[in-house]
Amino acid sequence: MKYFYWFIAVAVVVTALAVLFVPGVDDFVEQTLLGYLGRAAR
Amino acid sequence: MKIVKRLTIVVLCLLLIPATAVATAATKQRFADGPNQVFSGGPLESGELYVGPEPDWSFVSEVPTIELQLLDPPRSRRIWTAEYDGRLYVWSGYMSTAVGRLWKHWPVQAERDGRAVIRIDGIRYERQLVRIRSGDILDGITATITSKYPSQTTRAAVEAGDAWLFEAAPRN
């Protein structure tokens, strides 16, 4: 489990940095969320 | 029992990754000049502020979405719009569903304080959002809405409170 926790920690940091600095990642996140919200709200 | 506990931890940890992505994207957008698709943006700062007579809003029939910012709170979002009989309208659906009420705060905020700024094609307009709850005018407005968008906004939906409709009237 120790390695798993490390993996999650690294993944969380990389995800945050990608959303902040890699062009298009924030749009992808938003589009994906929009799809889920639209279905859930119906 | 131990394996169930461990499995729960694994699932929660994995969910942390998309949750981080969503939280980061939402936070990033809050500092932007305007909204994106879902996440609210900051105040609408760029663009010329329109001064002059009431515009001919018929041009919005060619505009898929507009940016709307309330003065209180000063956050912006992207929404659909329609023009009917020379007046501009915005609305919010899903208002009677739990997810909708969690997702959409601006209609409640707009009903409390309707002062708003909208930005269309880079031009900002100062408006006053006035909620319309009933009346024959809803037939025409909702017909315009459903002809423009794949929307289920009907007069009955507005009068039942499922959709909240506002006129973006001139601000006095």
B contact test, residue of A3, A6, A7, A8 with most B CBs within 10 A: A8
Query: What residue segments make up the domains of chain A, in order of their start?
Result: 2-41
**Mean pLDDT for the stretch of residues B49-53:** 94
Q: Min CA distance, B81 vs chain A (Å)?
A: 18
Q: What is the CATH number of the domain that holds B117?
A: 2.30.110.10
Closest CA to B6 of A16, A40, A21, A4: A4
CA distance from start to end of chain B? 66
* CB-CB contact of B139 with B91 (8 Å): no
Residue B84 pairs with which residues in a beta bridge? B87
Q: What is the predicted pLDDT for the residue at B101?
A: 77
Which residues of chain A neighbour B36 with C-beta distances below 8 Å?
Answer: 26-27, 30
**Residue B139, domain member (yes or no):** yes
**Which whole-number Å values give the CA distances from B1 to B4, B5, B8, in the listed order?**
5, 6, 11
Bridge pairing between strands B123-132 and B164-170: antiparallel
**Residue B22, domain member (yes or no):** no
Which residues of chain A neighbour B14 with C-beta distances below 8 Å?
Answer: 8
Q: Write out the DSSP string of B39-63.
A: S-B----SSEEP-SSPP-GGGGGG-
Per-residue pLDDT reduced to its tens digit, A17-41: 999 999 999 999 999 998 887 777 6
Q: Min CA distance, A9 vs chain B (Å)?
A: 9
Could you list the residue range(s) of the whole structural domain that residue B79 is in?
48-170
Which residues of chain B neighbour A25 with C-beta distances below 8 Å?
Answer: 21, 25
Peptide bond into B18 cis (omega under 30): no
Helix ranges (DSSP H) in chain B: 2-30, 98-103, 106-112, 137-148, 155-160
Per-residue pLDDT reduced to its tens digit, B90-130: 999 888 888 777 778 899 999 999 999 999 999 999 999 99
Residue B136 makes CB contacts below 8 A (sequence gap 6+) with none
The domain total for chain B is: 1
The question of ipTM being above 0.85 is answered as yes
- What are φ and ψ of residue B96, in 5° steps? -100, 5
pLDDT band at B38 (very low <50, low <70, confident <90, very high): confident
**Residue B26, domain member (yes or no):** no
**Residue B27, domain member (yes or no):** no
Check CB contact under 8 Å for A8 and B17.
Answer: yes
A contact test, residue of B2, B12, B28 with most A CBs within 10 A: B28
Average pLDDT over chain B, rounded to whole? 93
* CB-CB contact of B158 with B138 (8 Å): yes
Does residue B20 belong to the interface with chain A, where contact is any CB pair within 8 Å?
yes
**Residue B109, token pair as written in the block:** 């905020």
**Residue B111, domain member (yes or no):** yes
**Residue B125, domain member (yes or no):** yes
Q: Looking at the predicted structure, is the pLDDT value of residue B54 above 80?
A: yes
Tally A–B CB contacts below 8 A.
63
Query: Hey, what long-range contacts does A13-20 have (CB within 8 A, 24 or more apart)?
Result: A15/B17, A15/B20, A15/B21, A15/B24, A16/B20, A16/B21, A16/B24, A19/B20, A19/B21, A19/B24, A19/B25, A19/B28, A20/B24, A20/B28
